[in-house]
Amino acid sequence: IPKYENLNNNVLIIGSDIIKLLKKQSYNIENLYQKIKKAKKIDFNTFYDTLTFLWLSEIIEKNQFQIYLKK
C-alpha cells in the first residue's frame, strides 16, 4: 500500500484477520468485533472502516446482523 492516509496498514491487517475468521463461519457484528478485539487493540471506527473497505472490495456481504464472505 503506497500516500493513502485512510486505507492504512491497520485496516489491511485487520481486514485479513476478519477474512480468516469469516472463512470458518459467519458472525454478527458484535461478536466479530469482540473476536477481533481479543487479538488486536482496535477502536470501533477502524473496525467499521475495515468492514466498509472489505464490502467495497466485494469481499463481504451483510444481511440484518450477520457478516459473511461473498461467494
Q: Which residues bind other proteins (CB under 8 A)?
A: 4-7, 28-30, 33-34, 44-45, 48-49, 51-53, 55-58, 62, 64-65
Residue 64 contacts residue 53 (beta carbons within 8 Å): no
Distance CA 16, CA 45 (A): 17
If the CB atoms of residues 20 and 30 are measured against other proteins, the closer one turns out to be 30
Q: Nearest distance from residue 50's CB to other proteins, in Å?
A: 10
If the CB atoms of residues 14 and 51 are measured against other proteins, the closer one turns out to be 51
Q: Nearest distance from residue 58's CB to other proteins, in Å?
A: 7
Q: Nearest distance from residue 53's CB to other proteins, in Å?
A: 7
Q: How many CA atoms lie within 13 A of 61 on its CB side?
A: 4
Q: H/E element holding 66?
A: strand 66-69
**β-pairing verdict for 27-28 and 66-69:** antiparallel
